[in-house]
Amino acid sequence: MKIIVIIPTYNEKENVGRLLENIAGKIFKEISNHQMGILIVDGASPDGTAGIVKAKSAIYPNINLIEEKEKRGIGSAYIAGMKCAIEKLGADVVIEFDGDWQHDPNDIKRLVAEFDNGYDYVIGSRYVPGGSIPTEWALWRKFLSRFGGLTAKIVLGLPVNDATSGLKLSRVKNFAERLPLDENKVLSKYYAYKIQFLYEMLKMGAKTKEIPIQFLERQGGSSKSTLKDIFDSLRVVLILRFVKK
């Protein structure tokens, strides 16, 4: 199977080079039963992130790059990434992965192992036993991280503890290919797209598994998530509950 790890980046020059080196140079060599690739979707980072990616893709031909014209939100970046992975790169499986070391590259192997066990949708979950978020996070940061997922669980009754986790694996055939991979159809261009995609995947009957992950502190650069994401998540949850059927 062809598995593409999609990584959105905005100003990740301190992280992206080492991350690509680790995933393409080490982790992929430890997965022998699939054809692995990376797709970076860079939101026109002014810090030179795309240049670092190009240099790495000269060493590792399975590193691909989309250069967006501007920063358009993480949801928009993933839509562009999933479309390209499915239509141009021929992906059978897509993995969502952050570009700042908050996800452990070793967890890619654990996601793929669950796909090999027959799951269509594997969620790296911070809020199941064994999962965690950084202990040093301030209370407001913990609240921000928990709010969207908890609201989705309660209001939509989703049987998942971490709806907004950024680490996910999705089977393409019958599932990711049927997601609304179109900016005019998706309900949010920001983080809340994750709630909609989870909702749609479960509705399609994806065989789903949550595995615990340690969500680490970002290593360099700065966060792009804001308090506005709370209201955006709430908006998406309410639309899914009361408008969209």
Ligand X SMILES: Nc1nc2c(ncn2[C@@H]2O[C@H](COP(=O)(O)OP(=O)(O)OP(=O)(O)O)[C@@H](O)[C@H]2O)c(=O)[nH]1
CB 28 within 8 A of CB 62: yes
**Which residues have a Cβ under 8 Å from the Cβ of 142 and sit 6 or more positions away?**
133
Binding mask 18-47 for ligand X (x = CB under 6 A): -----------------------xxx----
- How many residues line the site for ligand X (CB under 6 A)? 22
The residue type found at 27 is: I
Nearer to Mg ion, 98 or 210 (CB): 98
115-118, Cβ contacts within 8 angstroms, sequence gap of 24 or more: 115/1, 115/3, 115/169, 115/171, 116/33, 117/209, 118/207
Among 12, 107, 210, 232, binds ligand X (CB under 6 A): 12
Residue 36's SS3 state is strand
Residue 55's SS3 state is helix
- The Cα–Cα gap between 199 and 157 comes to 10
Nearer to Mg ion, 2 or 218 (CB): 218
Binding mask 49-88 for ligand X (x = CB under 6 A): -------------------x--xxxx--x-----------
Verify binding: residue 148, ligand X, rule CB under 6 A: no
Verify binding: residue 107, ligand X, rule CB under 6 A: no
Which positions touch Mg ion (CB under 5 A)? 98, 100, 102, 218
Tokens 């140079």 locate to 25
Verify binding: residue 208, ligand X, rule CB under 6 A: no
Residue 151 interaction partner, one of ligand X, Mg ion, none, beta carbon < 5-8 Å per kind: none
Near ligand X by CB under 6 A, which window of 7-15, 29-37, 115-123, 153-161? 7-15
Beta bridge partners of 121: 170, 208
Verify binding: residue 218, ligand X, rule CB under 6 A: yes
To ligand X, the closest distance from the beta carbon of 20 in angstroms equals 12
Edge to edge, what strands does the sheet with 121-125 contain? 63-67, 35-42, 2-9, 93-96, 168-171, 121-125, 208-212
Verify binding: residue 149, ligand X, rule CB under 6 A: no
In the complex, which residues of this chain contact ligand X (CB under 6 A)? 8-10, 12, 41-43, 68, 71-74, 77, 98-100, 102, 166, 218, 223-225
